[in-house]
Structure 1
Amino acid sequence: MEHTLNERDLYIALSDLFVDNQVNYNYIASIVKLFPISYVEHVLFYYVAPVCHYNTIGPVPPVCFCFDRDELMSAINKIKKKENCPFNKIKMHIFAFYLKFRFKDEWQKIKSLL
């Protein structure tokens, strides 16, 4: 039986952008290409980057190889629950704007591989 990709697979693949090792852009692009690009951009900057960006800030990143899948999904689900509140929605847009600027090179590299 063939495995079909779902949102969880997309979230996990995008989280690889934030680990402290060599990023496999080709693998990420192979997952991303199966979803609409505007959807992937939204998922990256509104759900995955807010959860994973902390790993790129410190001098010694706590996550070296991959994020825990269950913890990642739990954190993303918490964000999704908060996004219906108008105040939280404004905060999310502002933070996403910053993240788009901060990780624009990574996003451009993925888009160039599609």
Structure 2
Amino acid sequence: MGNILSKEELYVALSDLFAADQIDYDYIASVAKLFPIESVEYALFNYVAPVCYYNTVTSFCISFDKDDLISNINRVKQNENSFFGRMKMYFFSKYLQLKFNHEWKTLKNLL
């Protein structure tokens, strides 16, 4: 595939923010820097975080199966098809931006 990565590969890399005690920001940044920063932020807070945030409430973290992750993200994307779905996504993403502000700032500084 060369230096061109798919959005799905970005989603998988971003999911590592929610799946490790020791986050490998350098790895995540190496994937994310191949995309516009606005796209990375949007993908993180509108697609990946809504699917993965629950993993941070447990005392142990687990990694995400790529196929399940993409399937769940595609379900979240269906919310974009209705006005109320978009509103729900908007407010939830704002909450997630507050909750994971530190992780985003740390990653953003590496991009």
Give RMSD over aligned pairs: 1.3
Counterpart code for 1:51: V
Matches within 5 A, 1:54-69: 54-61=54-61, 63=62, 66-69=63-66
Residue of structure 2 equivalent to 1:45? 45
Residue of structure 2 equivalent to 1:111? 108
1:81 aligns with 2:81: no
- Contact kept in structure 2, 1:14 and 1:44, CA below 8 Å: yes
Unpaired runs of 5+ residues, structure 1, are none
Q: Within 2, Cα distance between the matches of 1:39 and 1:60?
A: 29
- Contact kept in structure 2, 1:20 and 1:55, CA below 8 Å: no
Ranges of 4+ aligned residues in structure 1 off by more than 3 Å: none
Q: Within 2, Cα distance between the matches of 1:35 and 1:2?
A: 15
Count of residue pairs brought into register by the alignment: 111
TM-aligned CA distance change 1:19 to 1:94, over 3 Å: same
Unpaired runs of 5+ residues, structure 2, are none
Counterpart code for 2:42: H
Counterpart code for 2:34: L
Residue of structure 2 equivalent to 1:18? 18
Q: Within 2, Cα distance between the matches of 1:2 and 1:108?
A: 28
Q: Within 2, Cα distance between the matches of 1:69 and 1:58?
A: 20
Q: Within 2, Cα distance between the matches of 1:16 and 1:60?
A: 14
Task: Give 1 or 2: higher helix fraction.
Answer: 2
